[in-house]
Structure 1
């Protein structure tokens, strides 16, 4: 009978040990799962910020005309794909001009000028003076996505 008791005690000790190990594992891995979710959320936020960073350079800043021309060339493919619209208002063209696409309220559409060569032609009203200073601003849609960059020439 003592062998049976010893076997039962070993079995009970094995079950208790297994329960303790499972409990320890749950206590260790539950906070780790929460940390992993937190890290994933932070990573997603950082990714979004990095994607927007190329546009945020122009948010509420003053840039030169040469930087405006560079932006028109740099974002040309995104504008043609209607991902972003680019607007330039010069001293000669007070009405301004959308390039490749136009941002209206909440959407980008293909109604902008497709040729930016006039921006470097001194006799044209869309001419962008490389030495001129432009107030740049970024505009978002109702989802918070950057949809337009506007450049307005400052009076000198």
Structure 2
């Protein structure tokens, strides 16, 4: 064979090998990208679950008033940062007229308002008094994105 024909064949072979390598790379990248997206979604879900786990101990539980008071203190910074709202309805302040502490929740968002005075929860003459031995039903409220936004404590 002549030298130009051999060079053309070598060039064609190199071109085919290059095209095959690019094809293998593309076919490997697409599933890897999909797997990375799936992993990222699963990681985000897991991170949200871990973040919300501290509130899940109260989900549909019956707790004492002392636990309610401790929860108000424990989650005060979260409530002040509008990550969660805390609601307490005592036997003294009446059905449906409880008190939001640090933030409020209106089924869509947490907003900064409500009372910041926890001292009222220990004054027996105040409607916001939380009896340490009283029993409270607890409910976790979520927003439309299924994120925990409020803890409600309602005295039995």
TM-score (structure 1 length as normaliser) = 0.81
Q: 1:127 matched to which residue of 2?
A: 129
| CA drift at 1:108 | 3.8
Q: Which runs of 5+ in 1 are unaligned?
A: none
SS at the partner of 2:58? coil
Matches of 1:19 and 1:143 in 2, distance apart?
A: 46
Correspondence list, 1:1-156, <5 A = 2-94=2-94, 95-154=97-156
TM-aligned CA distance change 1:111 to 1:38, over 3 Å: closer
CA distance 1:19–1:142, shift in 2 (3 Å): closer
Gapped regions of structure 2 (runs ≥ 5): none
Distance in 2 between residues matched to 1:77 and 1:86, nearest whole Å: 11
C-alpha distance in 2 between matches for 1:32 and 1:135: 47
Distance 2:20 2:138 in 1: 62
How far is the alpha carbon of 1:135 from its aligned partner?
0.8
Q: Larger deviation: 144-153 or 65-74?
A: 144-153
Distance in structure 2 (CA, Å) of the matches to 1:38 and 1:82: 30
- Aligned to 2:55, the other structure's residue is in SS state helix
* SS of corresponding position for 1:149: strand
- Name the CA distance, whole Å, in 2 between partners of 1:75 and 1:8: 75
Q: Normalising by structure 2, report the TM-score.
A: 0.81
SS of the aligned residue for 1:148 comes to strand
Hey, what's the Cα distance between the residues in 2 that align with 1:144 and 1:57? 17
d(CA) in 2 for partners of 1:4, 1:43: 57
